[in-house]
Amino acid sequence: MVVVVSAMSGVTDRLIQLARQVSPEADPSGREMDVLLATGEQTTIALLSMAIRAMGGKAVSLTGAQAGILTDHAHTRARIANISPEEIHRLLRGGNIVIVAGFQGITSGGDITTLGRGGSDLSAIALAGALGARLCQIFTDVDGVYTCDPRVVPNARKINEISYDEMLEMASSGSKVMQSRAVEFGKKFGVTFEVRNSFNNNPGTIVKEETAGMEQVVIRGVSIERNQAKVTLTRLPDRPGVAARIFRAIAEAGVIVDMIVQNISLEGSTDISFTLNADELPHARRVLEPILADLCAEEIIARDGVAKLSVVGIGMRSHSGVAAQLFEILSAGGINIQMISTSEIKIAVILDESEIERAARLAHDGFGLAG
């Protein structure tokens, strides 16, 4: 057994605060930030190892460097380049439980790095792949991935098995059980993992390669994302480079956009809409207003108070009429759809935020997801 641990609750934030105190003006150096942050996980590997030994077990801790987790040089958001698991194998052969510091690695030059958000999950999945582990269990504070948020849809069920792609679409649609980056890594290297609860022994959700049986379920789950805003630029000239100009400006300002929708043009002009987190709306307006004239746009229409509902399932690919079914369900409930966007395995709609919970319950029931 190999255990990957995170820092104790609050420790990483406290270390970041210390860094801000000594480096108030400039951004602290990424290299030094990583040396600092890596102490959080180094503390927990030692303590967990001691605790297991105190209970009579055999345990040895390894930092990311000692575990052979080699990364690139992108400090504070490094990517795992390679894992040399010889030391872990040696310790496992000696009958040890091996406790590895998550979230950290080392460059080929011997510098300490950290992996950024979702880093410990990523470490675990990458190690499971490198070690050829039978199973990788990700311990969280929920029982697994649900067909919808149980606080919104009381009869939501825990999903027993889900494909990587469905998990990714659920994650990008507001079901924040895990960071997408870790799921993508699992997909890339074919690592099956289980998302389960730290506080009970219930089986969790197995995330794995798509299997034939999975397509029989049309919709795997419904997810919602609140606190969204939509922005529309109206009557843009229908010519190349307009969309690029808009989203380059937005990206350079560091604003993260979610859905982007453009319909066909009528009378030589078109409208482009996008959604984003409502907190980012003022920022986006400040970026776009100065270039409005340049773009020859008529106006910006911006509104918050909207939310996104997504239905996700790889079964969609082989079942027609899923979109129509969703629209009918919402229509029957008297819920107006403001925007629509689809991918191969997801249909997402923007609704008024006040109606999002009712819409989720209607879709959940309508697609027969209840337990």
Residues of this chain that interact with a copy of itself (CB under 8 A) are 15, 18-19, 22-26, 28-29, 31-33, 35-36, 38-39, 42-43, 45-51, 53-54, 60-61, 63, 65-66, 87, 110, 112
Q: In whole angstroms, what is the distance from residue 365 CA to residue 205 CA?
A: 21
Nearer to a copy of itself, 15 or 133 (CB): 15
Nearer to a copy of itself, 47 or 92 (CB): 47
Q: How far is the CB of 110 from a copy of itself (least distance, A)?
A: 6
What tokens appear for 179 in the block? 């960071």
Residue 220 burial (C-beta neighbours within 10 Å; 0-12, 13-18, 19+): buried
The answer to whether the beta carbons of residues 3 and 52 sit under 8 Å apart is no
3-state secondary structure of 31: helix
Q: How far is the CB of 159 from a copy of itself (least distance, A)?
A: 35
Q: Which of left, alpha, beta for 188 (phi over 0: left; psi -120 to 50: alpha)?
A: alpha
Nearer to a copy of itself, 60 or 148 (CB): 60
Q: How far is the CB of 83 from a copy of itself (least distance, A)?
A: 16
Nearer to a copy of itself, 65 or 167 (CB): 65
Q: How far is the CB of 90 from a copy of itself (least distance, A)?
A: 10
Nearer to a copy of itself, 91 or 177 (CB): 91
CA-to-CA separations, 206 to 52, 110, 166, 255, 350, in angstroms, rounded = 27, 36, 12, 33, 30
Q: How far is the CB of 38 from a copy of itself (least distance, A)?
A: 7
* Max Cα-Cα span within the chain: 78
The answer to whether the beta carbons of residues 314 and 165 sit under 8 Å apart is yes
Nearer to a copy of itself, 55 or 293 (CB): 55
Nearer to a copy of itself, 53 or 176 (CB): 53
What tokens appear for 101 in the block? 């510091």
Nearer to a copy of itself, 54 or 244 (CB): 54
Residue-wise DSSP of 88-134: HHHHHHTTPEEEEETTEEE-TTS-EEE--TTHHHHHHHHHHHHHT-S
Nearer to a copy of itself, 6 or 273 (CB): 6
Nearer to a copy of itself, 19 or 243 (CB): 19
The answer to whether the beta carbons of residues 114 and 36 sit under 8 Å apart is no
Q: How far is the CB of 197 from a copy of itself (least distance, A)?
A: 22
What residues contact 302, with CB distance under 8 A and at least 6 apart? 229, 230, 231, 232, 281, 284, 285
Q: Which residues of 323-353 are buried (b: 16+ CB within 10 A; e: fewer)?
A: eebbeebbeeeebeeebebeeebbbbbbbeb
The answer to whether the beta carbons of residues 360 and 155 sit under 8 Å apart is no
Q: In whole angstroms, what is the distance from residue 124 CA to residue 140 CA?
A: 13
Q: How far is the CB of 254 from a copy of itself (least distance, A)?
A: 23
Q: What is the CA radius of gyration of the chain?
A: 23
What is the DSSP secondary structure assignment for residue 27, as one 8-state letter?
P
Q: How far is the CB of 126 from a copy of itself (least distance, A)?
A: 20
Q: How far is the CB of 129 from a copy of itself (least distance, A)?
A: 23
Residue 201 main-chain phi, psi, to 5 deg: -105, 15
